[in-house]
Homo-oligomer: A and B are copies of this chain.
Amino acid sequence: MTAAAARPSPADSEHRPTIVIVGAVAAGASAATRARRMNEQARIILFEKDEHVSFANCGLPYYIGGEIEQRDKLLVAKPRMLRERFNLEVRTRCEVTAIDRAHRRVTVRDHQGGGTFTQPYDKLILAPGAAPIVPPVKGMDAANVFTLRNLQDTDRIKDFIARRPAGRAVVVGAGFIGLEMVEMFLRLKMRVSLVELQTQVLPPLDVEMARMVERELRRHEVDLRLGSGLQGFELERADGRDTVSHVVLDDGSRLAADVVIVGIGVRPNTQLAAEAGLRLGESGGIRVNEFLQTSDPDIYAAGDAVEYTHAVADLHMRVPLAGPANRSGRLAGEHAATGRCAPMPPVLGTAIVRVFDTVAAVTGCNERCVARLGGTVQRLYITANHHAGYYPGAQSMTLKLLYRPDDGKLLGAQIVGGEGVDKRIDVLATLIHLGGTVQDLTELDLAYAPPFGSAKDPLHMAGFAAANERDGLVQFVQPGVDLSTTQVVDMRTAAEMAKQPLVDAPHALHIPIDELRRRLGELDPGRPTVTVCASGLRSYIGARILMQHGFRNVADLTGGAAMRAHATNHEPTRT
């Protein structure tokens, strides 16, 4: 064999390209395995700067809390399997430090063996993920302060807690990971404070929906500090290391802490891409086209470091979640291996979190997102059982829809409840993905048997309400509306009213729905009137009665007294 033959010719390189992948967790591992299935001849090299590949990122809190008992379960695909089944070259503790686009090669620092080497590529896939945002306060490197992103963090936290059982935990940041860690610390019999700069937990949710999650946190005696910035740490020396004794908030309060978790968000790892001159997008993530190609078509990017196209709003956004990471990685791997793939589907930001017995989920646009969209947007709330009320164990859920009144297009949805929230959010995500309307919601032929749903599912009820509003059968007023100058008719029972008073409407007339027709004389048909009940079902029936009895201006308080209580409680609350 001559030297020339040993060097791959351009044609060879096309059939046996070298695909180099930076990062080997969700997007990177998906890219590598899909590339292999597409191209058996390619040389596929995975560089991972950390020790572990393809681990279950989303499972880390549950392992810390002991719900997942075996650490081994977190290792989804081990290097050996990736080598044997997919013929991948897996190089852990190898950090790609530079991209030489002109010569199509990367510089790699080998943290294990030491030294630096270069690796040529035909196609390069960047899947470097994101890193926890570290606030600029002294003490972030203290022995008992942790961020949680990878298995190493996990091991350190678990080890630390094991040595300080039943202590006091302070969680900074009330996003998904923060809330999961709160639950896990409680599970470990620790006392927990949750600190959040915003005046609500779970920023992807609108504030009035987040209130229901906050209620659940308080029910479990979480010390909730909303609207509170992290001022700094009080440090002491323990075992020869700086250790935080107290977390200090910007209102001056001091929280005693045995362990501190900082989970205030992640920042995309874009340095490598930026230094190589690849284009970043408006959200700070790596900009890619529909085939996950960066501004250099031989370089792809996927996962938490990129920005995706949003399915509803006309914007690019980062969505550091496993679903889009796996999807984008898989497509990037296919395109790198074959030169073609289906376009990356736009993202909806669908997400879900369990917080004790409460489940909160979101898909599509929330209020901030529809504000950017512009145009008229309508919203409504429905509270309904997750399965037939006559079958034991029915749990209530509250669903918020955001839709365009002109064409009925569904823009977004949020649900807080218990069982069955995951099902409804997935149906709504599917409907939005396919461009469905609130009318479609009313028409869905969903599966019903008493243990699973209702003949009129919460989704149907939400669709009915929206379709009624679009058809002019009812007008909604929003939960936080000023009721001081309107005639308010509260159609609940006296017992319900005592349990959940109607906020800011002491002048409300109490006329239970079943007495309305015979007590119409007590009301002034000429005055603007708002009908109220617990959740909005009876008040809709009441509104229909009034509208047909000559009341000119009738509106139904969507979400009822319960949602009004949430919506009018906008102040950060200290427990």
Using a CB–CB cutoff of 8 Å, the interface residues on chain A facing chain B are: 26, 37-41, 56, 58-59, 62, 67-69, 73-74, 76, 81, 84-87, 176, 180, 311, 321-327, 342, 345, 347-354, 359, 361, 363, 388-392, 422-423, 425-427, 429-431, 433-436, 439-440, 442-453, 455-456, 467, 473, 513-515, 517, 538, 540-541, 544-545, 548-549
Question: Residue A67 contacts which of B68, B326, B392, B444 (CB distance < 8 angstroms)?
Answer: B392
Nearest CB to that of A322 among chain B residues? Answer: B455
Question: Residue A549 contacts which of B40, B324, B359 (CB distance < 8 angstroms)?
Answer: B40
User: What is the distance, in angstroms, from A429's C-beta to the closest C-beta of chain B?
Assistant: 5
A492 to B172, CA, bound (A): 47
- Chain B residues closer than 8 Å to A443, beta-carbon distance: 327, 342, 345, 433
Question: Which 7 residue pairs of A and B lie closest in terms of their CB atoms, listed nearest first?
Answer: A40-B548, A345-B443, A322-B455, A352-B447, A84-B514, A423-B423, A73-B390
Question: Residue A350 contacts which of B325, B349, B447 (CB distance < 8 angstroms)?
Answer: B447
Chain B CB within 10 Å — which of A84, A350, A425, A448 has the most?
A448
Nearest CB to that of A545 among chain B residues? Answer: B40
Q: Does B447 lie within 8 Å of A426, measured CB to CB? A: yes
Q: Does B74 lie within 8 Å of A176, measured CB to CB? A: no
Question: Residue A514 contacts which of B85, B423, B447, B538 (CB distance < 8 angstroms)?
Answer: B85
16 A/B residue pairs, CB under 8 Å, sorted by A:
A40-B544, A59-B388, A62-B391, A73-B389, A73-B390, A81-B514, A85-B541, A176-B449, A323-B448, A342-B439, A350-B447, A350-B448, A352-B448, A353-B449, A361-B447, A434-B436
Known: A37-B544, A84-B514. A388 touches B56 (CB 8 A): yes
- Chain B residues closer than 8 Å to A541, beta-carbon distance: 37, 85-86
Known: A455-B326, A541-B85. A349 touches B388 (CB 8 A): no
Q: Does A445 lie within 8 Å of B323, measured CB to CB? A: yes
Q: Does B62 lie within 8 Å of A450, measured CB to CB? A: yes
